[in-house]
Structure 1
Amino acid sequence: MKVGFIGYGSMADLLTRQFLAHADVAPKDFIIYTRSENEKLQEIHELFPEITIARTSLEVFEQAEHTFVCVLPLGVLPVLLENKVAFSSEKHIISIAAGVSVNDLKKVATNVQFSKLIPSLTTSVGIGTSLVNHDTAVSAPNQVWLSTALGTFSSVQEVAEENIDLASDLTSSSPGFIAAIFEQFVQAAVRKSNLTEAEVFQMISNSLAGTSKLLAEKGYTFESLIKRVATKGGITAEGVALSEAKLPAFFDELLQRTEAKYDDHHAEIKEQIEELL
């Protein structure tokens, strides 16, 4: 069995390394094509010279049973169109592009099995969620293969297409949101004290790591953790009350803005489909 990658950016590199480290996929089972060789591809090939570097994307689609298409959203459909000759009902193609639905992929070809995957950076440290959506044509063995491979280093969650954009905010985008929010916490503490930015960062990052462990290992929910830490009438309770007053509007607007951005992506893909097909 061959596992293929079309495009080799950060997420393709993450998936390759995690499959090699945890899943039952050997270096000789990989075949990768990217338009221009980059440092990530050179590094992984130096570490694992048994990986095949394809000369064309067609070679990948011809040889691989499972092919991950890891190109920008507007590059997905053209890549598929260029390589339709290699498609068959046994082939399993997995797109990781935001804004490109399984139904969009099926506009190019119906004689192939399409899945959609939204990976997350957090899975590089063995914790995080991989979102998956399958077309009805995807066979049970292929669904099991993908879930099993991803499940060796992440929590796999199947999500309906209508929910996958919002779910992506909660998994793939949330590390960036969380980092942005707590960067502001760091800066507020620096403004309020003579602590250095490095000192404040260390304190908050340790608190974040500890909070994550409490949630993951001790069975806390957000609600129960708040009750455990925020004594009624105490200092923490003041911050919790402010958060409850101010943050709902912030997160409502955050999701509205990301929804609008996804709508833009979907509109671009729809326009591209009309031009190409």
Structure 2
Amino acid sequence: MKVGFIGTGSMGGLLIDAFLSSGALAPGEVLAANRSQDRLLQLQKRHPGISICSNGETAAKSDILFICVKPLQFKQLTDEIATYLRSDQIVVSITSPVQLYHLESALPSKIAKVIPSITHCVNSGTSLCIFGSRLHNKDRLLLLQLLSFIGVPEEIPESHTRIASDFSSCGPAFLSYFLERWIEAAVESTGIDEALISRLAGEMLLGTGKLLTEGSFTPQELQERVAVRGGITAEALNHLRSSLEGVFERLITTTHGKYDEDVEKLDELFGHHSGIAQSPLDR
């Protein structure tokens, strides 16, 4: 099986690294194309045996083709590669605002959307899977099996792409920001070694994730278990509740607003008068 990647930047390169390091793919099965030749040469140096190709060659030779470019670059790219693709190939977008109907109207292939996560670097986290109408069950199973090497694939409806991505894909950045500010305050207030407190925070986050995924705890149950009534944790939780009032609602409004804006721009580029991916916030 040949798996191609057009776009080997931050997330495209991460996927290639993860698939190869996990054993999901061998270097000889990977085709890569990118606007920057230097980036491709660095990738080939890291993984001897992968094939560096043009966009058209990558499209033509791939059984599964991952498109890993920015949203507004999709139309130009699909125009370029459409004639190289066949109906038996699977084309996967990793860009959330690009809708299935955009690609199914522009390409002859089977279409899927997969939203990966930086956590795949350590073979963890969830990859969100949205499958187009042309995929057969064997195609779904093929993609799910491939993605299972680098994390936990989860099939979702396309209407939930944005809110699910807030957690699986954006979540590491949001939680890292929270920890960064907390660590900065701890170092400034107490003088504790930053490397030490950062390790403690990382291990805490890892253990908390396991409690939520393997320990049958809900977030509320975890709070109740740790925060003894009248104790230090309970007092601090009360402070957090009042300080963060409305923050998460505004966060969701912000991510959905940017997503809807990008979908509208893509609708214009692909010649669609109105999108079907209406935000739940607008219903």
Q: Could you tell me the TM-score, scaled by structure 2's length?
A: 0.89
Q: Secondary structure at the match of 2:124?
A: coil
Q: Which residue of 1 aligns with 2:277?
A: none
* 1:164 maps to amino acid: T
Alpha-carbon separation, structure 2, partners of 1:47 and 1:196 = 34
**Aligned residue for 2:260?**
263
8 Å CA contact 1:27, 1:51 repeated in 2: yes
Corresponding residue of 2:48: 49
Whole-angstrom distance in 2 between the partners of 1:203 and 1:47: 32
Change (3 A) 1:14 1:253: same
Q: What is the rounded CA distance, in whole Å, between the counterparts of 1:125 and 1:273 in structure 2?
A: 36
Shift of 1:248: 4.4
Question: Equivalences for 1:141-160 in 2 at 5 Å?
Answer: 141-160=138-157
C-alpha distance in structure 2 between counterparts of 1:112 and 1:126, whole Å: 28
Q: CA deviation at 1:196?
A: 4.7
Task: Say whether residues 1:180 and 2:177 are aligned partners.
Answer: yes
Secondary structure at the aligned position of 1:83 is classed as helix
The structural deviation recorded for 1:190 is 3.4
Does the residue aligned with 1:268 lie in a helix, a strand or coil? Answer: helix
Q: 2:88 aligns with which of 84, 87, 90?
A: 90
How far the C-alpha of 1:152 sits from its partner, in A, is 1.6
Q: Which amino acid aligns with 1:102?
A: L
CA RMSD of aligned residues (A): 1.9
Instruction: Kindly report which structure 2 residues correspond to 1:110-259, keeping only aligned pairs within 5 A, or say none.
Output: 111-259=108-256
Give the whole-Å Cα distance in 2 for the aligned partners of 1:29 and 1:205.
35
Pairwise CA distance, 1:14: 1.7
Aligned to 2:27: 27
Q: Which residues of structure 1 form unaligned runs of 5+?
A: none
Q: State how far apart, in whole Å, the 2-side matches of 1:118 and 1:196 are.
A: 36
CA–CA separation in structure 2 for the residues paired with 1:213 and 1:94: 30
Q: What is the DSSP-based 3-state SS (H/G/I as helix, E as strand, rest coil) of the residue aligned with 2:242?
A: helix
State the percentage of identical aligned residues: 32
Residue 75 of structure 1 corresponds to which residue in structure 2? Answer: 73
- Segments of 5+ residues of structure 2 without an aligned counterpart are 273-283
CA–CA distance in structure 2, aligned partners of residues 20 and 199 of structure 1: 32
Shift of 1:228: 1.6
In structure 2, how many angstroms separate the alpha carbons of the residues matched to 1:90 and 1:180? 43
8 Å CA contact 1:23–1:149 kept in 2: the answer is no
Q: Shift in Å at residue 107 of structure 1? A: 2.5
TM-score by length of 1: 0.91
Residue 193 (structure 1) shift? 2.7
Instruction: Confirm or deny: 8 A CA contact 1:131 1:157 kept in the other structure.
Output: yes
Q: 1:273 aligns to what?
A: 270
1:202–1:27 Cα change, 3 Å:
closer
Aligned-partner Cα distance in 2 for 1:207–1:96 = 30
- The alignment of Structure 1 onto Structure 2 pairs a total of residues equal to 272
Cα distance in 1 for partners of 2:245, 2:148 equals 33
Q: Name the stretch that deviates more: 71-80 or 220-229.
A: 220-229
The Cα shift of 1:45 comes to: 1.3
Distance in 2 between residues matched to 1:130 and 1:235, nearest whole Å = 37
CA-to-aligned-CA distance 1:120-166 (integer Å, 9 cap, x gap): 00121121000010111012222111110101221111111111011
Counterpart amino acid of 1:264? E
1:26-84 alpha-carbon deviations (Å, 9 max, x no partner): 21111111121234x32331243321111x21111111111001111111121111121
